Amino acid sequence: MSKVENLENIIDRFGPHTHDAPIDGWQADRVIDKVVPTHCPYCGVQCGMNLLVEKGKLVGFEPRYDFPVNEGKLCPKGVTAYLQTHHPDRLEYPLIKRNGKFERASWDEALDLVVSKFKQIQEKYGKDGLGVYSGSSLTTEKTYLIGKFARAGLGTRYIDYNGRLCMVSAGAGNNKAFGIDRSANPWTDIPLAEVLILAGANCAETFPILNKFLWQQRDAGGVWIVIDPRETATARQGDLHLQLRPGTDVAVANGMLHVILKEGLIDEEFIKSRTNDWELTKAVIENFTPQMASEISGVPAEKIVQAGLLYGRAKTGMILHARGIEHHSNGVNNVLSYINIVLATGKIGAPGKGYGTITGQGNGQGGREHGQKAEQLPGARSMYSEEDRKHICDFWDLPYEEMPAPGVSAVELFDKMREGEIRGLLSICNNVMVSLPDINKVRESLEGLDFYVNIDFFMSESSR
């Protein structure tokens, strides 16, 4: 039976059905008062979109064809993003828990309660009796304000953000290798790469719009090498899949670099003029054979050799990775091992040559770069640098001695709550009961607080 002959059955099963229509119809002829160009708030691709406003109410969206990243396309998250604004479950007023139940409160009542409780806690336990835990789905301006509020307003050292579970390994690796926490290339460089390595990144399902650049690279004759423990949709599309054991990225990367070194495919001039400590790295790599890498990772040695030759012989090449290589206790080393391949071959700093991390949250970069990170001040300045601390103190008109010390990581922040050092928490734009490891410890941390404030659009597991 052909698809056309089966059309009635398909419609009967999947729709559209007349009973799916809204009570007042689809209103396709409605008159829109205002079109607001903006971005999807979800992942780091930040696709452009137009929001449609009617009588002050957000009623829909339209493709934004002028935005070069997505050119009007949106994934399912982007298509439904506008529905959050007037969603029936969205919280529109403060709730205060009394006798175990949430009751509606006025903004004045809620804010007065927060101020009163925060003052009580700090008078009794000191400024570090309060903690702030934030998120990376906030705008850059908001992340800056939260960091400033914690340090200059509350005077607490205890602030961190949920990017600690996301891209901190990538940021630390970038800082160690390049001296800056930034990607080296725009998305438009991807199609210019002869060979593209995707490590711990399933773009086909998690960054579907970004996939267009991958297919442009393929259409131009490029090759994909996918490094992932799972046979993902992206891995199935790749030319070569290195299906390693979880956590063995360093072995695979070192094995590939060994092949590149032995075949004389390194860029001696680039190494000499642009890198440090190559001889130390070389001494390790010379002994890290594909066979050794295979024994550790489970990837056949011949595939490691093939991957090394493909990337090493290519005139242009890029390495992209996502959380798959970063969410490990050795995440920074995973990141650095792939950067070593990039630097040893000199494939960076030119069109089609580069390296980048694919950001998961909407503003992962701004979240850590503008003051929410425990050890970082706005502008990617370090809490450990006297010069950086002084610069921010001058900018904030804050006495130098009042700038708090560096804080602790997200997991350690919640340890401090269980230990009784942190007695109150302001949590913004995150859901720790879902995202942090060991839910029982997280629950114990929250339930042991004297006062807990959660700021969110919806009643999440953490809000309850």
Mean pLDDT lowest among 71-85, 250-264, 280-294, 440-454: 71-85
Q: What gap in Å lies between CA 300 and CA 293, rounded to an integer?
A: 9
Greater pLDDT, 122 or 179: 122
Q: What is the mean pLDDT of residues 331-344?
A: 96
Q: What percent of the chain has pLDDT over 90?
A: 72
Q: Give yes or no for a contact between 166 and 412, defined as CB atoms under 8 angstroms apart.
A: no
- Sheet of 317-321, strands arranged across: 240-242, 223-227, 195-199, 317-321, 353-357
Classify residue 457 by burial, with Cβ atoms within 10 Å: 0-12, 13-18, 19+.
middle
- Residue 20 above 80 pLDDT? no
Where residue 149 falls among pLDDT bands split at 50, 70, 90? very high
User: Which candidate, 402, 403, 405, 422, places its Cα nearest to that of 414?
Assistant: 422
Report the pLDDT value the prediction gives residue 1, as an integer from 0 to 100: 41
Using a pLDDT cut of 70, give the percent of the chain over it.
95
What is the pLDDT at residue 27? 66
CB atoms within 10 A of CB 197: 28
Within 13 Å, how many C-alpha atoms sit on residue 248's CB side? Answer: 20
Q: Residue 21: which pLDDT band, with cuts at 50, 70 and 90?
A: low
Among 18-32, 53-67, 237-251, 262-276, the minimum mean pLDDT is found in 18-32
Per-residue pLDDT reduced to its tens digit, 302-330 = 999 999 999 999 999 999 999 889 988 88
Give residue-wise pLDDT tens across range 363-392.
888 888 888 999 999 998 999 999 999 999
| Cβ 415 vs Cβ 157: under 8 Å | no
Q: Are strands 451-455 and 95-98 parallel, antiparallel or unpaired?
A: unpaired
Segment 114-118 shows an average pLDDT of 98
**pLDDT tens profile 250-306:** 999 999 999 999 999 999 999 999 999 999 999 999 999 999 999 999 999 999 999
pLDDT > 60? residue 66: yes
Identify the band that residue 23 occupies on the pLDDT scale cut at 50, 70 and 90: low
Ordered structural domains, the chain, with CATH: 7-84 (3.30.200.210), 110-165+365-455 (3.40.50.740), 174-357 (3.40.228.10)
Predicted local confidence at residue 360, as pLDDT: 80
Residues 6+ apart with CB under 8 A from 393: 399, 400, 402, 403
Please give the pLDDT value at position 273: 96
The reported pLDDT for the residue numbered 3 is 47
User: What mean pLDDT is predicted for residues 40-62?
Assistant: 91
How is residue 204 written in tokens?
């086909």
What does the pLDDT read at residue 137? 86
Q: Residue range 341-348: average pLDDT?
A: 97
Residue 250: its pLDDT value, please? 97
Beta bridge partners of 131: 425
Burial (CB < 10 A; 0-12, 13-18, 19+), residue 345, is buried
Lookup: tokens for 280: 């130390």
What does pLDDT average to over the chain?
92
